Structure 1
Amino acid sequence: MAWAWRRVGSLLPFHYFHVIFQKGGMNEVELGRHTIKSHGAGLAKNHMHDWLILLLLVVIEVILFIIHPFYRFVGKEMMTDLKYPMKGNTVPIWAVPVYAILLPITVFLLVYLRRRDVYDLHHGILGLLYSVLITAVITDAIKNATGRPRPDFFWRCFPDGFEEYDNLGNVVCHGKEFIIREGYKSFPSGHASWSFAGLGFLSLYLCGKIRVFDRKGHIAKLCIVFLPLLLASLVAVSRVDDYWHHWQDVFAASFLGLIVAAFCYHQFFPPPYDDEGWGPYAYFRALDDMHTNSNSGHPPNGISAQVIEAPTTNFQARPYGNPVFLPEAQVERSPFDDVEFGRR
């Protein structure tokens, strides 16, 4: 059995993905099937501290939303740029989590149904939630610390149009307390930062999955990658059109969201331009462990989904096509390829 296992291990690097993505039903005992049922509980337990910190971020975000912002001095001469009319939100607040969180998770689930890779699903969701929540905490912390008035601040402060100032020239507002408090939360834009944090993460995810930078010149793939960014940009522009934010607010928030999304994405996934950019780091670590076991001549306890969760080799560059959407036949490499690319 040991020699047979080593023989299988030697063939896996070149034929594994061709077998996994061929048409037809796949039994969970076959190679590469590490599902929620077989590995989900262990994976979640291994990242328990990450989920606990995520809950802490939620609590911090709620606190930041409740507390009062800094009430910046607003004099009469400053009202010139703060008299824009009060309007409703083109993009309501409840819609932000829908397109910034639920939409990307839906895409992650569709990819999971195709690949049955719980590593990709778990790390995609965890990275997305961290991207959005870290951005939200930073955004609201800066909002409260800055206390910049919104463009429609005049009508929030003086809903009847009658201005009132104290001896120092600062406004004495007589509008509704909650509306006035929100009037001091212009910088940066929460809609814009959330949008670019969630949809920016999705854009990076898609960029890796469809192999945008595979050096084959299929530039049409960029249209798919730019769609989430276009949606986020339109949301950001709507905040200026609704007079809820100045243009500087949405620009800074968009940049913040993209930066945090990039950091969180690269915590779990290789860069999209990498040869292994289509899968999470954890997936390839599992493949390398499987290859090590196969070379040692000590296969796991039986052929099962729990056992063979990710068989392949630890080559620096794997000659795969698109293992997610466009499976291709694999071509074996010659020893000269290894010499040329510095692997020997």
Structure 2
Amino acid sequence: MAWKNMICSCSFLNFRSIFQGGRMSVEELDAHTIRSHGATVARKHMHDWLILLLLVVIEIILNIIHPFYRFVGEHMMTDLKYPMKDNTVPVWAVPMYAVLLPVVVFLFFYFRRRCVYDLHHAILGLLFAVLITGVLTDSIKNAVGRPRPDFFWRCFPDGVDSYDKWGNVVCHGEDSVIKEGHKSFPSGHTSWSFAGLGFLSLYLSGKIKAFDRKGHVAKLCIVFLPLLVASLVGISRVDDYWHHWQDVFAGGLLGLFVATFCYLQFFPPPYHTDGWGPYEYFSVQEQSRLNPHLSHPANGSNAQAQEAQALNQETGRHTSSMDDIESGRK
């Protein structure tokens, strides 16, 4: 009876070892998941995340300080008497579609490919694009101090204008409203929109291989869709009389320019053969090919490999015991 139980145990262990080994070769050896490689990637880019925190602090400071109060004379009021309107696109909605929406797309591709390098670098690049754009935009806003198209009603809410002896306005509106009225150039809504959605457009063009020279023009519709949304946001800023058209044009160029630079820090150009994946993924794949024993960090995958090795050793001991028993019987 003991001999039969040992045979069953040995067969089960052999079957489990074979099954687990097959699973590792198909899934673990080709996948780079958050569980297996996430900690390693995060540690490697720790300084990048610290720089992001610094950019957040700078952005907060730029929104607290006062902009330059540019001279605004009576003769300049012709283009600054547009009515005050509410934002068609609220401020709180900008990070929703410029940051959270792209992250959802990144997660979708992660669950399809299981590549933590792609997910990490896409999120990191997106945040860099948005925050660098925000810092540049607000720095220029504060330095230029251009009045918004509705500045007259911000400065004189009762419609009664007043000027000093040099002809400059003497505003009697709310301080916060007047302060915001000197932040016209460039458009923050537009720059953030083109930074986030521009990065998403570049990401999608690489993932769907929009420039594979096969003439699938339908792919361009997917690529241009985020840019169309960003453009409509910019147009709404002019329609709401919060910005001049030059503010929107400059904001769009700034956001798209920064998004392109940030994207190319982590990903090849979309028209490249390897444009569908980040640089680090191909680097790790090359290292794994040259040094197979270094292909996995010392966490999930190594633990499974050690478990499989232990099972093989245990199987070997059972097999040896069976051989001794059979030799004794003979």
Give the TM interval when normalised to the shorter protein. 0.7 to 0.9
- Which residue does 1:122 correspond to in 2? 120
1:109 to 89, 103, 107: 107
- CA contact under 8 A between 1:34 and 1:306: conserved in structure 2? no
- 5 Å-filtered alignment, 1:1-344, equals 29-294=27-292, 306=301
Q: State the one-letter code of the partner of 2:161.
A: E
TM-score (ref. length: structure 2) = 0.82
- CA contact under 8 A between 1:270 and 1:280: conserved in structure 2? yes
- CA contact under 8 A between 2:40 and 2:297: conserved in structure 1? no
- CA contact under 8 A between 1:30 and 1:304: conserved in structure 2? no
1:282 & 1:38 partners in 2: Cα distance? 15
1:54 & 1:26 partners in 2: Cα distance? 36
Deviation at 1:285, TM superposition (A): 0.1
Deviation at 1:149, TM superposition (A): 0.1
Secondary structure of 2:275's match? coil
Structure-2 change in CA distance of 1:271 and 1:168 (3 Å): same
Deviation at 1:28, TM superposition (A): 7.9
- Which residue does 1:329 correspond to in 2? none
Identity %: 72
2:218 & 2:39 partners in 1: Cα distance? 39
Structure-2 change in CA distance of 1:174 and 1:60 (3 Å): same
1:121 & 1:174 partners in 2: Cα distance? 50
Q: State the one-letter code of the partner of 1:55.
A: L
1:109 & 1:291 partners in 2: Cα distance? 27
- CA contact under 8 A between 1:236 and 1:254: conserved in structure 2? yes
Structure-2 change in CA distance of 1:75 and 1:300 (3 Å): closer
Structure-2 change in CA distance of 1:142 and 1:44 (3 Å): same
User: RMSD across aligned C-alpha pairs, in angstroms?
Assistant: 1.9
The runs of 5 or more residues in structure 2 that have no matched partner are 1-22, 303-330
Secondary structure of 1:169's match? coil
- CA contact under 8 A between 2:37 and 2:296: conserved in structure 1? no
- CA contact under 8 A between 1:31 and 1:305: conserved in structure 2? no
Q: State the one-letter code of the partner of 1:116.
A: R
The runs of 5 or more residues in structure 1 that have no matched partner are 1-24, 308-344
- CA contact under 8 A between 2:284 and 2:295: conserved in structure 1? no
Q: State the one-letter code of the partner of 2:84.
A: M
Secondary structure of 1:276's match? coil
1:63 & 1:212 partners in 2: Cα distance? 40
The structure in which a higher percent of residues are helix is 2
1:83 & 1:30 partners in 2: Cα distance? 64
Deviation at 1:196, TM superposition (A): 0.1
Deviation at 1:31, TM superposition (A): 2.9
Structure-2 change in CA distance of 1:27 and 1:245 (3 Å): farther
Deviation at 1:54, TM superposition (A): 0.2
- CA contact under 8 A between 2:149 and 2:244: conserved in structure 1? yes
Deviation at 1:182, TM superposition (A): 0.3
- CA contact under 8 A between 1:148 and 1:184: conserved in structure 2? yes
The structure with the larger Rg is 2
Structure-2 change in CA distance of 1:207 and 1:143 (3 Å): same
2:120 & 2:137 partners in 1: Cα distance? 26
2:147 & 2:82 partners in 1: Cα distance? 12
- CA contact under 8 A between 1:38 and 1:306: conserved in structure 2? yes
Q: What CA deviation, in whole Å up to 9, does each residue of 1:278-322 have, x standing for no partner?
A: 00000000011011125xxx6768999746xxxxxxxxxxxxxxx
Q: What CA deviation, in whole Å up to 9, does each residue of 1:311-335 have, x standing for no partner?
A: xxxxxxxxxxxxxxxxxxxxxxxxx
- The total of aligned residue pairs comes to 280
Q: What CA deviation, in whole Å up to 9, does each residue of 1:206-251 have, x standing for no partner?
A: 0000000111111100000001000000000000000000000000
- CA contact under 8 A between 1:29 and 1:303: conserved in structure 2? no
2:220 & 2:275 partners in 1: Cα distance? 16
2:228 & 2:263 partners in 1: Cα distance? 19
Deviation at 1:27, TM superposition (A): 8.6
Q: State the one-letter code of the partner of 1:107.
A: V
1:166 & 1:241 partners in 2: Cα distance? 32
1:43 & 1:200 partners in 2: Cα distance? 25
Q: What CA deviation, in whole Å up to 9, does each residue of 1:147-190 have, x standing for no partner?
A: 00000000000000001000000000000000000000000000
